[in-house]
Structure 1
């Protein structure tokens, strides 16, 4: 633990745009964007998105098609839909885990970074830090079969926060940057976690198909025949994906053509 606390105080903090604000809306946007997406990729999208939708009201009033266009290229478009729905609630209430797409981690992160609350949470970089500093070489060696649960790590995060003497928002920023630093040094330990899952291949995936459909429909409304023709995937896959997007309220069918809903 002492080595971890020393490393925490020595790690250089990255200059990230969402660290320059205490606005819960802007921090929520960054946290949603950072889900399963690397910091470097998120930064230009975040800057453009905030410029276009500077507050929850602006985002909640925007047409969904405009929001999806602003999100295009970032992937996991469902996040944009959930974020806009959250913005509609946010204009009237505080950040809550009942917001669409906002689970316990995102809620805790927003509370720490926006309100400086001493919430306790884990994400991938934080997990790497504690696996490296607190579980010893035997546990994290390639020959070890033991997997570490977040339940074992959470009390250590709480202990480190109390012992560090650093305010919560800076503590978590330092933890995340230390985790990034370790990974850049080739130390990648999340496969030693019980919660680790290998990301599925993107090429030919359902996720890729969702993105292709949305891109096509954003350009102009399209018939089922046109979508199958442009995307070059089976009718069954396209119909199944359209049904899913429709049930989520992302697209709608009108006069035999699919449109972005809203």
Structure 2
């Protein structure tokens, strides 16, 4: 599937989509503690905590963590046991270890100065394409998509993308689809608006496309096939042989 066949909107439609999405976000953005500023440390900590964990569960842990380790330098210099203790209750402790390792890299390898592009951010421990895209766009204004389950769902429905999101190569299809839609002056807000849209009107289990702020751009809603997207194949269960 060729991406240029997917994103065939004229410039005026792209501009109208950006306006509809961002106007809605300006009025209805979720009020979250890590959104109070654009500090890359705050974005990194929140994104790693949010892996495998619900937003409402993360909020008190995030606030306590920030009180205890307010800067990347503070996190880098404490014993690992102290970090794991602060993480206690969130589970998946490898996230905490990777987070501290990334902090140490920023201090030791970058002299305490954050790498500012999605590509260079991915040199840090635990920072993959999604988290790098979130940090780069929110904190440094790079117009790069942050593609998670929300983004897959939103854009698969908007454009009726038939590519299987379970396949690793599909991420590039969505990257090439989304990037031309991003406003150069507000890429971070665009990514966060997509996150909020994907967890509300375009959620996985209880979507409400009829009231979505981007309803007029939603091909799956227009054609009555919202539930068909995104396309995701299930992994086959392993066959157990008993002899």
1:174 aligns to 2:219 (yes or no) = no
Q: Is the 8 A contact 1:131 1:189 kept in 2?
A: no
Aligned to 1:21: 37
| Cα RMSD, aligned residues only | 2.8
Match of 1:158 among 179, 194, 198: 179
Alignment of 1:1-262 (within 5 A): 5=18, 6-11=20-25, 12-92=28-108, 93=110, 94-95=114-115, 96-135=121-160, 147-148=164-165, 149-162=170-183, 167-181=186-200, 182-183=202-203, 186-187=206-207, 192-194=230-232
Q: CA deviation at 1:9?
A: 3.1
Count of aligned pairs between the two proteins: 188
Q: CA deviation at 1:130?
A: 0.6
Q: CA deviation at 1:67?
A: 0.7
Cα distance change, pair 184–118 in 1 and its aligned pair in 2 (3 A): same
Q: CA deviation at 1:189?
A: 6.5
Cα distance change, pair 74–105 in 1 and its aligned pair in 2 (3 A): same
State how far apart, in whole Å, the 1-side matches of 2:62 and 2:69 are. Answer: 10
Cα distance change, pair 58–109 in 1 and its aligned pair in 2 (3 A): same
Q: CA deviation at 1:150?
A: 2.6
Cα distance change, pair 70–168 in 1 and its aligned pair in 2 (3 A): same
TM (norm. structure 1) is 0.63
State how far apart, in whole Å, the 2-side matches of 1:183 and 1:117 are. Answer: 26
Q: CA deviation at 1:105?
A: 2.1
Cα distance change, pair 169–193 in 1 and its aligned pair in 2 (3 A): same
SS of residue in 2 equivalent to 1:73 = coil
State how far apart, in whole Å, the 1-side matches of 2:198 and 2:153 are. Answer: 6
CA deviation profile, 1:79-98 (whole Å, cap 9, x unmatched): 10111111111224224212
Larger radius of gyration: 1
